Structure 1
Amino acid sequence: MTAPANPYKTQPERAFWRASVGARHYADLADLWQPMPLKKSDRVATAGSCFAQHIGNNLAIRGAAFMDMEPAPPVFSSEAEARRWGYGVFSCRYGNSYTSRQLIQLFDEAHGQRSPQELVWEKQGRFFDALRPGLDPVGQDSAEAVLALRQQHLEAVRRMFAEMDVFVFTMGLTEGWESVADGTMFPTAPGTIAGTYRPEAYRLHNLRAHEIRADMEEFWDRLRQVNPGARMLLTVSPVPLAATATDNHVLVATTWSKSVLRSVAGELAEDHPDIHYFPSYEIISSHPARGMFFEPDLRNVNGFGVDLVMQHFFSGDLAVEFAGKVAEPEDEIELICDEGRIDG
């Protein structure tokens, strides 16, 4: 058997820029990922940054077994109103989990392996869960009420991790604010939604690639201990940082953060057969898209971008498995994003 003239001669068309990108209209790009094994019967849980909400919403619309472990009580006038209180946003009512550190700390707390020293923040006489402050627009009347609700929440989180088949996690940020006392990382800086910022009590932690990789490896090991058959789908949010607490320009900080997250996500997917990566970040943010999928603020992703991402997601075998109903304009959801309140 004659060897090829060079190792690229046996590569498929999708491996060549000119054929698969440069000579095609962007809407005609194909084979951007090799879809993971996924059935409608698979129980799917979601967490992460704001963009993860689109994937969960579209999976539910197409008939996936989307897990809602903390359903809204029948006191809300609409689904949109319930979402503003954190119901139906993700599989549990944990709000945005922007960083790998939040994820591993949530898992450990839910399984009794971690007890954060600071769980309650106060604002104007009302009390908020410091680890999900954006969920309750008005707060509770006592710290005890916050803690009781958190225990119910952690029970739902524990059941979710044990019962799910697929965990979809959208990696959003490297920057986070943590407690000096015990390293607990919060979804927002103290004082942004509730609480009081005290420089001696809180510090910025811009997670490095090796820290994020270690967090995710530890999470994966612990998840497989309680759920040996679990699979994980990673994505990286294409939404730029609303603000940076570093000395960098926000554009530079965004590029650094997303590059680190994308690198770690790729390594995890390469090294673990049951961890998969879906390129929503590349579809929206890469330069061949010419920025056309962002709103005028160049930060929020428009409906056309979301639709294109979902077209690529439900491709190959997933196009057959999830054939039927697709999302319509009226199915679009209002994203619930704590980070956006930094610049509010």
Structure 2
Amino acid sequence: MEFKTTLEIKPSEEKIHPHFKVVSIGSCFADHIGHRFEEMKTDILSNPFGIIYNPISQMRLINLCLDNQPLNPEHIVENQDIYNHLDAHSMFGKKKLEELQKGIQEASDSLKDYLEHSKVLILTFGTSWVFRYEKTKEIVANCHKLPSQNFSKELLSIEDITSEVISTLKKLKEVNPAIRVILTVSPVRHIKEGIPENMLSKSILRVAVDHIEKALPDISYFPAYELIMDDLRDYRFFGEDMIHPNLMARNYIWQKFRETYFSDALFTYCDKWQSIKNDLNHRVMNPGSIEHVQFLESLLKKLEKFSVIGNVNAEKEYVQKELEDARSQ
């Protein structure tokens, strides 16, 4: 007897390979996916402007970076002696305006480079609820705790999302014809607006994504939202806040993502990196011994070989220092 409905996902014909550049933009679930790729030492840019929940703000960032245009200077705000930008996450907040502008420019340059050269773009839409800045009448990504009278709240329509995303992705394909897009709807529950409002928001996102997938080539939908809401479907898969999927749920979704998009070569790559990680975490019983020196020399050779694809510079420096210390004992 089955006590759950398991969501079977058809493996993608277009796989992700070890040498691919990948960029991930969107909600905190995009951060999670990006972190998993970073742990694998693959070449990924994850949320360069921080967590961005709504698709309109995500598309604005992509468009501005592709056009080599700056973010709207009128969206720079000061609150409690901290400068922030309404189109970026509060992680950019600085006491000096020049430092905020420098951070924004660096993020813009990075995103432009990855959009032009990546093989895969992962977009995660979090909510259809948005805030419009009264001063410019533009939708913004973050209110940065400014007084509410500075903003008006509204719900995006399916057409709002589909038209903006389709036009942006068409422009992206003109710049980078080789890029493929994976769309997801974040499984994180935005219940601050209310549970019915969250369900309405997610429904709009899901229908919009379906329209986008049908309208453009090289687009695929990964059902992260459905995996949480219909496959796992239990509060034991959420954290204490009952909003964010817990580690068990995130691991389950990641495993499904791997099964859907990873090539055989990427699975092999992951196995090799896991073996190296095990060596890096190896507990030394006899520091400075011949066996210890030989172990570190072997590990350094593995890292040198692996560095052809994976970014393991920090690990190489660490092992090199450990090796020098071991030889000096």
What is the CA–CA distance in structure 2 between the aligned matches of 1:316 and 1:171, rounded to whole Å?
A: 19
- Flag as ranges the 4+ runs of structure 1 deviating above 6 A: none
Letter in 1 for 2:217: P
Alignment of 1:173-252 (within 5 A): 173-190=127-144, 192=145, 196-197=146-147, 199=149, 201-244=150-193, 250-252=194-196
Give yes or no for the alignment of 1:171 onto 2:171: no
User: What is the aligned counterpart of 2:82 among 103, 126, 133?
Assistant: 126
Q: Normalising to structure 1: TM-score of the pair?
A: 0.71
What is the CA–CA distance in structure 1 between the aligned matches of 2:88 and 2:161, rounded to whole Å?
A: 21
CA contact 2:29–2:188 (8 Å) conserved in 1: yes
TM-align CA RMSD: 2.6
Please give the secondary structure, in 2, of the residue aligned with 1:322.
helix
Give yes or no for the alignment of 1:272 onto 2:216: yes
Give yes or no for the alignment of 1:143 onto 2:97: yes
Letter in 1 for 2:59: I
What is the CA–CA distance in structure 1 between the aligned matches of 2:106 and 2:240, rounded to whole Å?
A: 41
CA contact 2:132–2:138 (8 Å) conserved in 1: yes
Paired position in structure 2 for 1:335: none
What is the CA–CA distance in structure 1 between the aligned matches of 2:255 and 2:106, rounded to whole Å?
A: 37
Please give the secondary structure, in 2, of the residue aligned with 1:299.
coil
What is the CA–CA distance in structure 1 between the aligned matches of 2:261 and 2:85, rounded to whole Å?
A: 42
- CA deviations on 1:76-121 (whole Å, 9 max, x unpaired) are xxxxxxxxxxxxxx252x0112111101211232224575252322
Paired position in structure 1 for 2:20: 42
CA contact 1:119–1:147 (8 Å) conserved in 2: no
Please give the secondary structure, in 1, of the residue aligned with 2:10.
coil
Q: Normalising to structure 2: TM-score of the pair?
A: 0.73
Please give the secondary structure, in 2, of the residue aligned with 1:59.
helix
What is the CA–CA distance in structure 1 between the aligned matches of 2:11 and 2:242, rounded to whole Å?
A: 29
Paired position in structure 2 for 1:289: 233
User: What is the aligned counterpart of 2:264 among 300, 320, 323?
Assistant: 320
Structure 1 spans left out of the alignment, 5+ residues: 1-22, 69-89, 245-249, 329-344
CA contact 2:52–2:89 (8 Å) conserved in 1: no
> By how many angstroms is 1:56 displaced?
1.7
What is the CA–CA distance in structure 1 between the aligned matches of 2:191 and 2:7, rounded to whole Å?
A: 31
> By how many angstroms is 1:182 displaced?
3.3
What is the CA–CA distance in structure 1 between the aligned matches of 2:217 and 2:68, rounded to whole Å?
A: 29
Letter in 2 for 1:197: P
Please give the secondary structure, in 1, of the residue aligned with 2:123.
strand
Please give the secondary structure, in 1, of the residue aligned with 2:56.
helix
CA contact 1:62–1:322 (8 Å) conserved in 2: no
What is the CA–CA distance in structure 1 between the aligned matches of 2:108 and 2:264, rounded to whole Å?
A: 36
Residues 34, 271 of structure 1: alpha-carbon distance in 2 compared, 3 angstrom cutoff? farther
Paired position in structure 2 for 1:341: none
Paired position in structure 1 for 2:44: 67
> By how many angstroms is 1:319 displaced?
6.5
Letter in 2 for 1:162: E
CA contact 1:95–1:132 (8 Å) conserved in 2: yes
What is the CA–CA distance in structure 2 between the aligned matches of 1:114 and 1:146, rounded to whole Å?
A: 13
Residues 297, 151 of structure 1: alpha-carbon distance in 2 compared, 3 angstrom cutoff? closer
> By how many angstroms is 1:51 displaced?
0.8
Please give the secondary structure, in 2, of the residue aligned with 1:51.
helix
CA contact 2:52–2:58 (8 Å) conserved in 1: yes
CA contact 1:47–1:169 (8 Å) conserved in 2: yes
Residues 183, 221 of structure 1: alpha-carbon distance in 2 compared, 3 angstrom cutoff? farther
Letter in 1 for 2:118: M
- CA deviations on 1:159-184 (whole Å, 9 max, x unpaired) are 12111110001110111112234343
What is the CA–CA distance in structure 2 between the aligned matches of 1:321 and 1:256, rounded to whole Å?
A: 40
State percent identity of aligned pairs.
20
What is the CA–CA distance in structure 1 between the aligned matches of 2:96 and 2:241, rounded to whole Å?
A: 39
What is the CA–CA distance in structure 2 between the aligned matches of 1:160 and 1:211, rounded to whole Å?
A: 26
- CA deviations on 1:274-293 (whole Å, 9 max, x unpaired) are 01111111111127623331
CA contact 1:33–1:279 (8 Å) conserved in 2: no
> By how many angstroms is 1:236 displaced?
0.7
CA contact 2:133–2:151 (8 Å) conserved in 1: yes
